C-alpha cells in the first residue's frame, strides 16, 4: 500500500484509462533519490491489470553501453521485428546487437521503437515503465524520446521516473511532468509503522525528522539514536545500510550480485550463465532475495533500489569485478554479440589495453553502422585504451564524426577537441575542422565555422589541394549563412591564390551572393556554373544546395523535383536530420507552386523535426514560409509571431523573407503606405539577399501611394533578372510591373497573362489578372474585365488568399456583377497539416504502415488521422479519397484557365 500518494496515483490511473480507450499518454515523475518514484512505477504495473507491461531501468554503470536501456525494454520482443518495415527492423536489430551493420541512426531507431510499441499495442493496451531515466545511455534515451514525443492514438501509456537534480540525455522538455515530493507527517508516520521492527516512541520523532518525508529513509534508516538532519548525511547512511547488508551475504551470493551489477542487461539468461563461470548457482541468489536486496521477476534480476546496485559495486574487490566482466565477455562472445563482448572486455582494463581497444574498434567498424551513437561511443572508449597517440587521434576523430552524423553535437565538439590534442597532420586536422564547423554551423555560429574552415584549408592546401578546395567551399557557404559577403569574397580570393581545383566554384558562390545582395542579374551565370558543374557528383547535402540554386534561378520544377526526391530518400532511410534540412526547400517550392496545404504541412513537420535535431536555422526559415501563408490568409497575429525571430536575427534571407511576408499582408489589406515603407527599407539596405521576389510588391505599393518614380529602379532590376533566368512566369511579373508604371498597360497585361498560363506560381498569375481586371474596368471594358476577374477570384479562393479574394469580388461588384462569398471553411482547410499529409499519401495507395514510416508516426496514429479526415472530406473509403485528391492536381497546369 502506498501512503500519501493519492494525487499521484490518480494521475497514473487517468493515464492508464486513456490508454485503454485508445489514446496514448506520457508522464514523467521527478523527485530525489528514495522519494518513491520506483514504488509508483510498481503501483502503475499493478494498476495495469491485463495491459502488457514493458520495463527498463537506467543503470549508472551502463550509461556508456549504447542501447543498454533499449535492450532491457525490448529485448524480449525482438521476435516481432519482422512486422516492422525492413529499414526499421534492420536498425533496431543493429541497435540491440542482433545484426551487424544496418541503417542505424538515432531517428530511425526511434521510429522503429515507436513502430514496435504500436505493434505490441495492437494486441492489447501497453504500459512502458522507465526507471532512473537520468542514467539511461544516450542512445536509448534519444530513441525513447523520439518515440514518446510521437505517441498519439496507439493505446500506449508511458511512465518515466528520473531524479530532479540529475542532468541526463533524457530531456523531458515538453512532456507532462509530476514532481514527487516528501510524504506529509501522517503518511510518514503510517509508513514507519510498517517497519518490521517496532520503533520506540523516543526514536520515532528523530527518525521522522531525519528522513524528512523520504519513504526509503523512513523504512531503512537504522534506529541508532543518532539523528542526522542534513540531507547528504541521510543518503550516506542509506548507502552504508545497504553496503552492510551486502557484506553480510555469503561470498558466492556477493559474486553473483557483482555479475548482475556489472551486466549491461538484467536478463537472467545472461547473468546466471556468467555467474556460473564464477562457481555460482541459482541457489546462491536466495540469500539476497531473503534480504530484500534483489528479486527475480519474469526472467530479470531486479535490484530493489539503485543504491543497492551501487553498494554491491562499491563493496566488491577490484579482482572480483574484473572476473565478473571477464565472465560476461565470455558469455557474449559465445552468443556472437561482438559489441557487448567488446564493452565488457574493455571494462576489464585498468590501463592501456591494445587488445581491448582493437576489439572495440573492430566492433564499431563491423558490428555497428559507422554513422551511429553506438559507433561513436566505441571509438571513444577504444581511444582511451590505446597507448598509440596516432591511433588515439584517429579514433577520436572518427568518434567525433559519428557523433556529429548522429546529431550529438555537444559530444562531437568535445571529441573533436580531444582529437586535436593527438593530431599534428594538417590533413587529419582538416577532418577535425569539418566536424567542428558542422557543429558551429548547426548551432547558428557560421562566422566561427568560416574562420575554422579557412584556416584548416590554408594548412592542408599543399598536401591535399582537393580537400582544401572542399574546405574553402564549405567556408564560403558558412560565410553566406552568416550574411558576411566580405568574408565570402576573401574566401574566393584565397581559393584562387592557392590554385585549388574547385577555386572557380568558390568564386561562383561569391559572385552569386554578391549579386543577390545587389539585386543584380549578375547572379544568374555563376548560378548556372554551380548547377552545371556539381550536379553529376553531388551527395545529399550538395544536391540540396543545387535545389536552392535552381530556386534562385526561378526554376520551380527542378527545385521541387530535387526537394521531393531528397525528402523521399530521407523518409525511406529514416534520416530525420536530412529531412529537417530538406523540408525548408520543399515547403518554399510548394508555397510558390500554389500547393499551400502541402507547404503548411511540410513546414509544420519541419519545425517539429528541427526541434528534435537542434537545427534552429532551418526552423527560422520555415517560420517565414508559414508567415507568407498567414499573410495571404490575412492572419495578422500569426504573421507577426512567425516573423518576429527572423527579423530580430537580422540575417538574410530570413529577415528579408519575413519583411516580404509582412509587406504582402499590408498589400492584401490595403495598407500601402506601410508596405511601401517596409520594402523601401529592404531595398535600401546593404544586405538584401532574397529580396528579388519582393521587388514587384514594392512597385505595386509605390504606385498605390502615387510614387511611381520611386519604383522605377526596382522594376528595372527585376526585369533584367527575369530576362536572364528565362522563366515565363518571371517575365510575366516583370510585364505586370511595367504595366503599372506605364500608359501602355493593356498589351503588357495581356502578354503577362499569356505567359502565366505556361506555368509558375498561381498566386502571381491571379494578382496579374486582378490588376488587369481593375484596369479593364476603369477603361469601361466591362465584359473583358469580368473574365479575368473571375479567373483571379477562382485562384484566390482556391489558395484561400482571403483579402485578395475580397478585392476581386469588390471589382466584380463594381463591374455590375453580384458574386457570392466563398465558403471560408473550405474542405481542405478543415484538415490539420498532419491530416493533409496522411490523406495525400493514402490517396497514392500507401498503407498505414508505409505512411507511418514516411511521416515518423505509428500506423495506428495514421489510421486515427484518416478516421478524422474522412468525414471532413465527405468520403468513406480510400478509393473515394484517391478520386477526391486526383481532382486536385499537385502541379500547376500550364493551361489553368
What confidence tens digit (pLDDT) does each residue in 673-717 have? 999 999 999 988 887 888 999 999 999 999 999 999 999 999 999
Most confident of 291-295, 687-691, 855-859, 875-879: 291-295
Q: What is the pLDDT of residues 19-47, one digit of tens each?
A: 999 999 999 999 988 899 999 999 999 99
pLDDT tens-digit map of 311-353: 898 899 888 999 999 999 999 999 888 888 998 999 898 889 9
> What pLDDT is attached to residue 615?
77
Counting beta carbons within 10 angstroms of the beta carbon of residue 784, is it exposed (0 to 12), middle (13 to 18) or buried (19 or more)?
middle
Instruction: Look up residue 662 and give its three cell numbers.
Output: 509582412
With 0-12 / 13-18 / 19 or more C-beta atoms within 10 angstroms meaning exposed / middle / buried, residue 650 is: exposed
54 - beta bridge partners? 128
DSSP string, 493-534: HHHHHHT-TTHHHHHHHHHHHHHHHTT-GGGHHHHHHHHHHH
The average confidence (pLDDT) of the chain is 88
Domain boundaries, the chain: 6-179, 185-229, 246-340, 612-827, 828-886
Q: Which residue has the cell 466584380?
A: 812
The arithmetic mean of pLDDT across residues 155-167, rounded, is 88
Mean per-residue pLDDT for 75-90? 85
CATH of domain 6-179: 3.40.50.300
Q: What is the DSSP string of 567-616?
A: HHHHHHHT-HHHHHHHHHHHHHHHHHTT-HHHHHHHHHHHHHHHHHHT-H
Report pLDDT digits (tens) over 390-404. 999 999 999 998 888
Q: Tell me the pLDDT tens digit for each residue of 173-225.
A: 889 999 999 999 899 999 988 888 888 877 888 788 878 888 988 888 877 65
How is domain 612-827 classified at the CATH fold level? 1.25.40
Three-state secondary-structure class, residue 53? strand
Residue 689 has a pLDDT of 84
Q: pLDDT-based confidence at 364, cuts 50/70/90?
A: confident
DSSP state of 685: S
- Cell 523504512: give the residue: 219
What's the rounded mean pLDDT across residues 857-873?
85
Span 121-141, pLDDT tens digits: 998 999 999 999 998 988 899
Could you give the 3-state DSSP secondary structure of residue 320? helix
The percent of residues in the chain predicted with pLDDT above 70, rounded, is 93
Q: 828-886 has which CATH code?
A: 1.10.10.10
828-886 shares the fold of 6-179: no
d(CA 586, CA 580): 10
Amino acid at each position: 500500500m502506498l501512503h500519501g500518494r493519492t494525487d499521484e496515483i490518480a494521475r497514473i490511473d487517468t493515464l492508464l484509462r486513456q490508454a485503454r480507450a485508445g489514446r496514448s499518454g506520457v508522464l514523467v515523475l521527478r523527485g530525489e533519490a528514495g522519494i518513491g518514484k520506483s514504488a509508483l512505477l510498481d503501483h502503475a504495473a499493478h494498476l495495469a491489470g491485463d495491459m502488457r507491461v514493458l520495463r527498463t531501468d537506467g543503470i549508472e554503470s551502463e550509461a556508456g553501453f549504447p542501447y543498454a536501456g533499449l535492450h532491457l525494454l525490448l529485448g524480449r520482443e525482438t521476435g516481432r521485428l519482422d512486422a516492422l518495415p525492413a529499414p526499421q527492423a534492420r536498425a533496431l536489430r543493429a541497435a540491440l546487437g542482433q545484426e551487424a551493420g544496418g541503417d542505424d541512426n538515432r531517428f530511425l531507431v526511434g521510429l522503429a521503437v515507436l513502430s514496435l510499441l504500436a505493434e505490441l499495442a495492437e494486441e492489447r493496451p501497453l504500459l512502458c515503465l522507465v526507471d532512473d531515466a537520468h542514467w539511461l545511455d544516450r542512445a536509448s534515451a534519444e530513441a525513447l524520446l523520439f518515440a514518446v514525443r510521437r505517441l498519439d492514438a496507439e493505446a500506449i501509456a508511458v511512465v518515466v521516473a528520473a531524479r530532479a537534480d540529475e542532468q541526463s540525455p533524457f530531456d523531458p522538455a515538453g512532456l507532462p511532468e509530476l514532481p514527487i515530493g516528501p510524504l506529509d507527517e501522517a503518511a510518514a508516520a503510517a509508513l514507519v509503522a510498517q517497519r518490521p521492527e517496532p520503533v520506540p516512541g523516543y526514536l520515532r520523532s528523530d527518525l521522522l525528522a531525519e528522513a524528512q518525508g523520504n519513504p526509503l529513509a523512513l523504512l531503512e534508516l537504522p534506529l541508532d539514536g543518532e539523528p542526522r538532519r542534513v540531507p547528504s548525511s541521510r543518503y550516506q547512511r542509506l548507502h552504508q545500510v545497504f553496503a552492510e547488508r551486502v557484506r553480510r551475504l555469503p561470498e558466492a551470493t556477493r559474486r553473483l550480485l557483482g555479475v548482475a551489477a556489472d551486466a549491461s542487461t538484467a536478463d537472467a539468461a545472461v547473468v546466471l550463465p556468467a555467474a556460473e563461470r564464477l562457481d555460482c548457482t541459482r541457489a546462491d541468489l536466495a540469500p539476497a532475495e531473503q534480504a530484500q536486496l534483489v528479486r527475480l521477476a519474469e526472467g530479470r534480476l531486479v535490484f530493489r533500489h539503485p543504491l543497492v546496485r551501487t553498494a554491491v559495486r562499491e563493496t566488491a574487490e577490484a579482482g572480483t569485478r574484473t572476473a565478473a566482466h571477464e565472465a560476461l565477455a565470455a558469455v557474449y562472445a559465445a552468443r556472437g554479440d561482438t559489441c557487448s563482448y567488446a564493452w565488457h572486455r574493455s571494462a576489464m582494463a585498468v590501463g592501456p589495453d591494445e587488445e581491448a581497444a582493437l576489439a572495440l574498434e573492430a566492433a564499431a567498424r563491423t558490428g555497428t553502422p559507422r554513422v551511429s551513437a553506438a559507433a561513436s561511443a566505441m571509438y571513444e572508449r577504444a581511444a582511451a585504451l590505446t597507448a598509440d597517440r596516432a591511433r588515439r587521434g584517429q579514433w577520436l576523430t572518427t568518434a567525433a564524426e559519428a557523433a556529429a552524423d548522429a546529431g550529438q553535437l555537444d559530444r562531437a565538439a568535445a571529441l573533436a577537441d580531444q582529437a586535436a590534442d593527438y593530431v599534428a597532420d594538417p590533413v587529419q586536422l582538416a577532418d577535425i575542422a569539418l566536424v567542428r564547423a558542422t557543429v558551429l554551423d548547426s548551432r547558428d555560429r557560421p562566422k566561427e565555422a568560416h574562420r575554422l574552415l579557412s584556416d584548416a584549408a590554408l594548412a592542408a592546401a599543399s598536401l591535399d589541394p582537393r580537400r582544401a578546395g572542399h574546405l574553402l567551399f564549405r567556408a564560403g557557404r558558412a560565410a553566406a549563412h552568416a550574411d558576411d559577403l566580405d568574408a565570402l569574397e576573401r574566401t574566393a580570393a584565397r581559393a584562387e591564390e592557392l590554385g585549388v581545383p574547385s577555386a572557380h566554384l568558390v568564386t561562383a558562390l561569391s559572385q552569386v551572393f554578391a549579386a543577390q545582395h545587389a539585386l543584380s542579374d549578375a547572379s544568374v551565370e555563376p548560378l548556372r556554373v554551380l548547377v552545371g558543374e556539381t550536379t553529376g557528383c553531388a551527395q545529399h547535402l550538395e544536391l540540396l544546395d543545387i535545389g536552392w540554386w535552381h530556386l534562385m534561378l526561378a526554376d520551380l520544377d527542378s527545385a521541387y523535383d530535387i526537394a521531393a526526391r531528397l525528402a523521399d530518400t530521407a523518409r525511406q532511410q529514416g534520416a530525420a536530420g536530412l529531412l529537417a534540412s530538406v523540408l525548408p526547400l520543399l515547403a518554399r517550392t510548394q508555397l510558390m507552386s500554389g500547393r499551400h496545404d502541402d507547404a503548411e504541412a511540410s513546414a509544420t513537420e519541419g519545425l517539429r523535426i528541427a526541434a528534435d535535431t537542434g537545427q534552429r536555422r532551418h526552423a527560422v526559415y520555415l517560420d517565414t514560409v508559414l508567415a507568407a501563408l498567414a499573410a495571404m490568409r490575412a492572419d495578422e497575429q500569426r504573421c507577426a509571431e512567425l516573423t518576429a525571430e527572423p527579423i530580430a536575427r537580422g540575417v538574410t534571407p530570413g529577415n528579408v523573407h519575413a519583411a516580404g511576408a509582412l509587406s504582402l499582408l499590408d498589400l492584401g489589406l490595403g495598407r500601402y503606405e506601410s508596405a511601401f515603407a517596409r520594402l523601401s527599407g529592404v531595398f535600401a539596405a546593404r544586405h538584401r539577399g532574397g529580396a528579388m521576389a519582393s521587388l514587384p510588391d514594392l512597385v505595386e505599393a509605390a504606385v498605390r501611394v502615387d510614387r511611381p518614380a520611386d519604383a522605377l529602379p526596382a522594376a528595372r532590376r527585376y526585369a533584367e533578372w527575369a530576362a536572364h533566368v528565362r522563366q515565363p512566369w518571371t517575365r510575366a511579373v516583370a510585364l505586370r510591373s511595367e504595366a503599372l508604371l506605364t500608359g501602355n498597360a493593356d498589351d503588357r497585361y495581356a502578354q503577362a497573362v499569356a505567359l502565366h498560363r505556361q506555368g509558375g506560381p498561381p498566386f502571381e498569375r491571379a494578382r496579374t489578372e486582378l490588376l488587369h481586371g481593375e484596369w479593364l474596368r476603369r477603361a469601361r471594358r466591362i465584359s473583358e474585365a469580368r473574365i479575368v476577374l473571375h479567373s483571379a477570384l477562382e485562384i484566390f479562393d482556391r489558395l484561400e488568399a482571403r483579402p485578395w479574394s475580397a478585392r476581386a469580388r469588390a471589382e466584380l461588384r463594381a463591374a455590375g456583377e453580384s458574386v457570392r462569398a466563398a465558403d471560408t471553411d473550405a474542405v481542405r482547410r478543415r484538415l490539420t497539416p498532419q491530416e493533409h499529409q496522411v490523406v495525400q499519401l493514402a490517396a497514392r495507395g500507401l498503407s498505414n504502415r508505409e505512411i507511418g514510416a514516411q511521416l515518423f508516426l505509428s500506423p495506428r496514429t495514421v489510421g486515427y488521422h484518416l478516421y478524422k479526415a474522412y468525414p471532413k472530406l465527405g468520403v468513406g473509403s480510400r478509393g473515394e479519397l484517391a478520386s477526391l485528391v486526383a481532382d486536385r492536381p499537385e502541379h500547376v497546369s500550364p493551361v489553368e484557365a
